[in-house]
Structure 1
Amino acid sequence: MAGSTAKTVHDIFQSMEYGPTSSSAATAQAWLDHHSRSLGLFMDGKFVCPADRQTCSLVDSKGSAVCSTVCAVDHDVSKCVSSAVIGFKAWSSLSCFERAKVLLKMGSVLGQHGQCVSEVCELSKTSCSPSTLLRLLQYYSSWAQLRDSLITDWSPLGVVAVVASDDCSLYSLMQKVVPALAMGNSVVIVPGRSSAPPALLLAQLFMEAGLPSSALSVLTGSDVSLGAKVAQNPNISYVTYSGNKQDGVTLCKATAGLGVPVSVSPCVGATCPFIIFESADIDSAVEGVMETAFKAKKEVQWVLCVQESVLDGVVSRLRLRMAAMKCVALASEGDRAQVDAALQEAQKQGATLLQPCAAPPSGTQFPPTVLCGTAPSSPCVVNPPPGPLLPLMSFRSNTEAVSLANHSPHGQAASIWTEDLTLALETAKSLSVGSVWVNSHSMSDPCLPASGHKDSGTCTDGGQEGLYQFLQPSSSSSSPPLPRSSSISMDYSNFGTATSPAVIPNGSDPASAPKSYLQFVGGKSCKSESGSSVAVQSPEGTTVLAYCPDGGRKDVRNAVEAAIKVQPGWMKKSMSARAQSLHSLAKGLEAKRRDIAASINAQTGLSLEEADKEVELSIARLSDWAACCDKIQGGAPPVPQSGFALSLPEALGVVGVVLPDNRPFLSMVTLLGAAIAMGNAVVMVPSQKHPLPALAFIQVLQSADLPAGLVNIITGSRDQLTAALANHSVLKAIWYWGNAEGCQYLQYTCTSPLKTLWLHCQKEEKDGGMDWTQLRPSHKEEMWRKAVQWKSIWIPTA
């Protein structure tokens, strides 16, 4: 037709432009109009619009107003959580079959209203496919059905608060809401601004599916401080967060000392490596780069790592594919300033720019940009700004590729491109990330567990392994949650700085003078770096039994350095080799049985017969962990797409353990066995009141078949050593038995980098109810789950 401007197929292929998309959102607009475009809170199974509340406005990608949401206040929080307690009783009292039926019905309801959900997500700038939500519901409805038969001796926590930042996607939010419901908890959602409208819509749909009213509530606000207000309510059993790290750290600090466990999944803003080996299908790899690196809205930032032999080919293909690309809209002028600053710094360090066009001098539009020859230390690599930037680095060998990829402080995910399966699997196992995609990227499925490695989270999401964050051992002898309380007014800079009581010469007969012990660092018995000692009192507190080293920050530093050197080799040992080493440790303990029992008797006041029974139980406990070494494995969960996947348990790394006063020897052996059986190294702080059994155990460690530095024992002030552990950046986890001040200090401090905390507030001579002599299978399972992190590897076949 003359004058026609319609493009031919040839024109489209030449320009590679996306086709027109439908901008109709009639269904979503009708739903918003039904609520007068003012969305209230969702509690008691219905929308509530309290009067005299501040509101937050939400705008679409064009800057037009979409709707407003109510900002909840303290009264709303109290009312909502009280209602959620009632909802928990109703929801948890249902049978597994009844809960599963509700989740399956929710899938049907979602199918009927999928168009509305999709359009509301699009208007809210948090795109989420209804099909991915449907997969979540189908997968976790099965676990709801099978909870009591496959996850025995575990029970729901109670009321769970799910908090998200403003830039968190709806899928990341629901990835925590659905499994929490499936396990029988009630949930209070505190969404970010963008995910608030779709979260409110889904809550309404859950009610249509038959979920008991108040089992799911939604509280909206202006920022993450609302999540802290929800956590302050004593009826909240657990808080889990998704979003950017900054808001996650704010939430952790605001909830420190409240006695509620908080887990963090910083799923936004992490730096992820995209590795292209010379054995890759280069065209497919470059296509993958184009699909994921230059999105207008993306949760992670990518860093491209290319093997030198194919670097020129990759760059030329990128230049060709980028030639017709247009500028991408940034979120704000502030983001533009960050992008400009990052580019200037990268160019100073020698990077060159690859752009389809010059950047406008101002405004929020910016062209897709590849920074070729970027230095690993460049700010745009370590902490990239938001925007369509792709740093590119080259490597020579496989080892160098792994080093580059692990250079980032984040450990969320990685994409590997190679046709060599052996190379792919070896690289995947060496990367410190939670998810690895081979010849693919950004693929997800709820059946795959992934833990936050390094600075990317403190919990596991996905799969059966991700369910345990919403469960607790059912037995009453289990370690209970931290006691709920108000935060203690603390000067965190002064915690652990009190000096130990001075040891004054008393002129006693040298023959009757108390024995002086040494601590154990790097496989050697040694004094503390300070050279000072502290007196160990008898159970009655009337006499001095012995003197032990007064360890401090330098001793912790030495111990961690020794543990870092040996832990990778210990983790790579075969499971049977680790089991043999633990059996050797148990055999050595048997040989020193009388000496250890005498130490327990003198230190704790237990009779020799009871002390001997404790040693016997400790030997059996080590044998239990030795037997578990080659029994706890990952698997190959079935995935809906073509290909197969692997889920692998991995060691955390170096774990700090502050031991309880109750059963000081049995608790030490139990926790030590759990940690090293899973491949970790440990830095242990014995009970400050009862350190002698642990120091006597050093003789067993010296004769055992364990690498030097794998187990380190440092004595002294518990608070001082706790502060040293908390401030050491290498430690991945801290297991703590101590006072409320110590628990609050760890929650406030262990945020940069993030550390996984297992906290217990012990009272007087008891450690909060843990019966170390009667550990049920679920208690042992809880311990080994605290000692591992999970990695998923996805390998497509077509």
Structure 2
Amino acid sequence: MTGISEIMAKMDYGSARESLAEGTAWIEKRAIARHFIGGDFPEGGDLRPVLNPATTREIARVPLARAAEVSAALAAARQAQPLWEALGCEARARHLYALARGLQKRERLFAEVEVLNGGRPMRELREGDIPLAARCFYHHAGWAMQRDEAFPTLVPHGICAGLIPWHAPLLTAVRKIAPALAAGSVVVLKPSHLTPLSAVLLAELTLEIGLPPGVLTILQGDDETGALLVAQPGVRMVSVTGSVPTGRKIREATAGQGKAVTLSVSGTSTFIVLGDADPDAAVEGVVDGLWLNQGGMGCTGARLLVQEGLAGTFTARLKARMARLVTGDPLEKGTDLGALASEACCTRARDQIARATAAGADLHQGSAPEGNFLAPGLITGAAAQGCSGPIAVLTTFRTADEAVQLASHSRRAQSASIWSENITRATDLALRVKAAVVWVNCTHQLDAGAAFDGPGPAPEGGRRGMETWLTHPSPPGALREEQPSHWLPDPVAPPQGQALDMTLRHWIGGKFTRADNGLSAAIGGGPPVASGSRKDIRNAVEAAVKAAAWSAMSGHQRAQVLWFFAENLQQRQAEFAELTSDQEVRAALSRILAAASAADKAAGAVRDTKPGFLTLERAEPQGVLAILCPPEAPLLGLITMVAPALAMGNRVICVPSETAPHVGAKLAQVFAVSDLPAGALNIVTGPHLPLSEVLALHEEVSALWYCGTAAGSARVETLAAAGLKPVVTDGGHPAFWSAPADLMRRASRTRTIWLPFGA
């Protein structure tokens, strides 16, 4: 028998198992996680087993929807959407409030079902996911009430498709359902076939609170089901949470269809521990943030950067803390880490660990039971690479600048957690590190009222997130017709009888340069212009990357440059009126002044989220922004697209109108004398199709705006899917750019910074 002194020395947890009687009874009563269509649970589709990942035993079965079920789901959603929108803001808000209250009342049942189907510890769900999901419904009940007042010019998308992964299935589903319903849209949700049960329970809750049939539809299924759903022409918005390959497939599948797409793909997260940090607090931050949900959360950390002076102490304490973590039965109240969702998830993580150790990395790992369990681990060594699952990869650094460089290597940086007792150093890094959300001396703070603008093309949460679930009414008028290219370049040479070469050149890095290929073309009756190629785009991108000082300037400073540019353009108003029209020049001047006046008005906000935290949202430029201007109105079209991008601090690569490129080339002369820093704006004339392909595939181009034909829009969206970069296209609608209501918003991203605030 173990003595009291031995118990006190070891301080091991005693057995205290949670009861899952209610959740088990609920699952056994249903046996099959059916679809939810038109307020009913119909049969249909081949059945697959649903396993409890902790025991690997079958607990239910799930059907896989195919064409018939998808068609029925879309029919129900199509019938419900106009009625739901006509219901009015207050009625929609009441339904969302009822969902929040119902979720809180059934908190225990939802948690038990998630434990049985997802393998996560009960404490983690009841303290994290369930309250966050209820908060999301409450928050968007407020947006539902204020929709018409807050977004008077926007309308709902209509039918929205939501695809969610296996981790955090309830919370991820609610983060798609709540804003869509608040906007006046209806949702067709496809959960993962590994974790389908929470969605069924949520469907039952909608029946209890009286949500109209068809407003929420659930299609159970696999990847094939998701592909069928996304391909439906009636779906006007697709919101996906998942892996990078899944995001690419969705972007390619929706290219050219005019569908709004939001992607929340798995990105990298970094812990930066400075030498003056509290090592014990930072260790607990790693435990709470990195190993949360078995490392499966999309915003969970993967890299651990520790300053050399603290590395020894910190690593020793982290290993000691890791040794005390309990991995195992999620029913035990003392369990810290539960099971991964499937055997495939475990195999993938173990293979990554094996490759890292084979390459020379050192692995320090605790113990875990057999099955779908993976103990937390720490990988060190020069050969260490990022791993999925609860595995931290530790690297040391010497200076803060080196830490920023290491943290910014990933193109899909998602979040960062910075630890330092010096608030000045911490906030300096918070602004410099590449991340959408930054936690200072804390980790994994989330709230529905704060934006999370991750590596996908659209943010979630807060006002910015709500805006993505609304859209402008479809532009009127016919699409542009496909026209044969008139771009037939010839070697640069002075026209016959003319001694000087009057060819208008590119403007790259603050200099006027010839085309790299030595070719020019006379288009639209204007003087010859340089014919741009891949190498000219390369030079322009290099110049834009080096012009980071423009992005670092204040909005007031950028506004002064734009005001000065407007003055210079006005002095040459008669010249540009001959090239276009006096009316077009006046309209262009007006839009420059509008962008200049807004440059210092989009700084961000302080959000009311959680007690004890100051949550800052900061508007920042996309980075290097490529713009292909519309063929009509060569001056006004260019100014309309470029001015808001510059006002928000982007470094721009502009390809002027393909039908009158000489106007854009002439305009470069005005920019050249307007105090614009070298590389902040680069103008490359040339044929749109080949240049747009180069820009869409270039890794240093952060975002791309394209105005042209419908086929060109589809081509650009398809190519940009490889890098998951944000793309704005007009789909061939000439009216798109003529009312640029939201270009300022699209020209920026949101960085959210969480600071502990108060005693």
TM-score (norm 1): 0.86
1:298 to 287, 296, 311: 296
Measured after TM superposition, the shift of residue 593 of structure 1 is 0.9
Per-residue CA deviations over 1:324-359 (Å, capped at 9, x if unaligned) read: 4566766667666655664565457664343457x9
- Is residue 38 from structure 1 mapped to residue 40 from structure 2 by the alignment? no
The answer to whether the 8 A contact 2:613-2:755 is kept is yes
CA distance 1:318–1:588, shift in 2 (3 Å): same
- Is residue 165 from structure 1 mapped to residue 145 from structure 2 by the alignment? no
CA distance 1:195–1:738, shift in 2 (3 Å): farther
The answer to whether the 8 A contact 2:238-2:259 is kept is yes
Aligned to 2:636: 666
Measured after TM superposition, the shift of residue 140 of structure 1 is 0.8
Per-residue CA deviations over 1:271-312 (Å, capped at 9, x if unaligned) read: 211111122211111122233334535223421111111111
Give the CA RMSD over aligned residues.
2.9
- Is residue 29 from structure 1 mapped to residue 9 from structure 2 by the alignment? no
Aligned to 2:263: 264
The answer to whether the 8 A contact 1:46-1:204 is kept is no
- Is residue 388 from structure 1 mapped to residue 387 from structure 2 by the alignment? no
> 5 Å matches for 1:475-486?
none
CA distance 1:711–1:148, shift in 2 (3 Å): same
1:565 to 541, 546, 566: 546
The answer to whether the 8 A contact 2:51-2:60 is kept is yes
Query: Within 2, Cα distance between the matches of 1:226 and 1:322?
Result: 40
- Is residue 554 from structure 1 mapped to residue 554 from structure 2 by the alignment? no
Query: Within 2, Cα distance between the matches of 1:121 and 1:700?
Result: 62
> 5 Å matches for 1:654-733?
654-733=624-703
The answer to whether the 8 A contact 1:165-1:247 is kept is no
Aligned to 1:69: 62
Aligned to 1:100: 93
Aligned to 1:575: 555
The answer to whether the 8 A contact 1:159-1:185 is kept is yes
Query: Within 1, Cα distance between the matches of 2:477 and 2:233?
Result: 18
Aligned to 1:541: none
1:790 to 738, 746, 750: 750
Query: Within 2, Cα distance between the matches of 1:212 and 1:513?
Result: 74
Measured after TM superposition, the shift of residue 189 of structure 1 is 0.8
Q: Secondary structure at the match of 1:461?
A: coil
Per-residue CA deviations over 1:131-159 (Å, capped at 9, x if unaligned) read: 22111111110111111122222111111
Query: Within 1, Cα distance between the matches of 2:747 and 2:457?
Result: 12
Unaligned runs of 5+ in 1: 489-495, 539-544, 601-610
Q: Secondary structure at the match of 1:444?
A: coil
Letter in 2 for 1:559: A
Query: Within 1, Cα distance between the matches of 2:715 and 2:260?
Result: 14
> 5 Å matches for 1:279-298?
279-295=276-292, 296=294, 298=296
2:509 to 522, 528, 532: 522
Per-residue CA deviations over 1:232-285 (Å, capped at 9, x if unaligned) read: 22221111111121222222223333332322110x4x3211111122211111
The answer to whether the 8 A contact 1:727-1:750 is kept is yes
Measured after TM superposition, the shift of residue 478 of structure 1 is 7.7
Number of equivalences = 735
Letter in 1 for 2:362: T
- Is residue 226 from structure 1 mapped to residue 214 from structure 2 by the alignment? no
Query: Within 2, Cα distance between the matches of 1:13 and 1:222?
Result: 50
Query: Within 2, Cα distance between the matches of 1:462 and 1:652?
Result: 18
Aligned to 1:632: 602
Query: Within 2, Cα distance between the matches of 1:40 and 1:332?
Result: 21
CA distance 1:282–1:479, shift in 2 (3 Å): farther
Aligned to 2:472: 473
Aligned to 2:449: 447
Per-residue CA deviations over 1:767-788 (Å, capped at 9, x if unaligned) read: 343362xx3xxx43x1111101
Q: Secondary structure at the match of 1:371?
A: strand
Measured after TM superposition, the shift of residue 442 of structure 1 is 1.2
Per-residue CA deviations over 1:582-627 (Å, capped at 9, x if unaligned) read: 1011111111111111112xxxxxxxxxx11111111111111111
Measured after TM superposition, the shift of residue 706 of structure 1 is 0.4
The answer to whether the 8 A contact 2:632-2:659 is kept is no
Measured after TM superposition, the shift of residue 709 of structure 1 is 1.1
CA distance 1:478–1:589, shift in 2 (3 Å): farther
Aligned to 1:492: none
Query: Within 1, Cα distance between the matches of 2:155 and 2:92?
Result: 14
Query: Within 2, Cα distance between the matches of 1:683 and 1:319?
Result: 49
Per-residue CA deviations over 1:392-413 (Å, capped at 9, x if unaligned) read: 1111222122112112332111
Measured after TM superposition, the shift of residue 653 of structure 1 is 0.2
CA distance 1:503–1:55, shift in 2 (3 Å): same
- Is residue 91 from structure 1 mapped to residue 84 from structure 2 by the alignment? yes
The answer to whether the 8 A contact 1:42-1:219 is kept is yes
CA distance 1:628–1:205, shift in 2 (3 Å): same
The answer to whether the 8 A contact 1:450-1:461 is kept is yes
Query: Within 2, Cα distance between the matches of 1:344 and 1:92?
Result: 53
Query: Within 1, Cα distance between the matches of 2:202 and 2:345?
Result: 32
The answer to whether the 8 A contact 1:478-1:771 is kept is no
> 5 Å matches for 1:150-161?
150-161=150-161
Between the two proteins, what is the percent identity of the paired residues? Answer: 30
Q: Secondary structure at the match of 2:379?
A: strand
The answer to whether the 8 A contact 1:338-1:385 is kept is no
Letter in 2 for 1:546: P
Measured after TM superposition, the shift of residue 630 of structure 1 is 1.1
Measured after TM superposition, the shift of residue 722 of structure 1 is 0.7
The answer to whether the 8 A contact 1:664-1:686 is kept is yes
Query: Within 2, Cα distance between the matches of 1:131 and 1:176?
Result: 16
Q: Secondary structure at the match of 2:462?
A: coil
CA distance 1:479–1:770, shift in 2 (3 Å): farther
Unaligned runs of 5+ in 2: 329-338
The answer to whether the 8 A contact 2:457-2:725 is kept is yes
Letter in 2 for 1:554: K
Letter in 2 for 1:283: D
Q: Secondary structure at the match of 1:792?
A: strand
Measured after TM superposition, the shift of residue 464 of structure 1 is 0.7
Query: Within 2, Cα distance between the matches of 1:411 and 1:353?
Result: 24
Letter in 2 for 1:419: E
Aligned to 2:713: 743
Per-residue CA deviations over 1:623-667 (Å, capped at 9, x if unaligned) read: 111110111121111113322211111111001111111222112
Measured after TM superposition, the shift of residue 110 of structure 1 is 1.7
Measured after TM superposition, the shift of residue 323 of structure 1 is 3.5
The answer to whether the 8 A contact 2:251-2:721 is kept is yes
- Is residue 354 from structure 1 mapped to residue 320 from structure 2 by the alignment? no
CA distance 1:275–1:100, shift in 2 (3 Å): same
Query: Within 1, Cα distance between the matches of 2:46 and 2:250?
Result: 22
Measured after TM superposition, the shift of residue 461 of structure 1 is 0.5
Q: Secondary structure at the match of 2:304?
A: strand
Query: Within 1, Cα distance between the matches of 2:541 and 2:519?
Result: 21
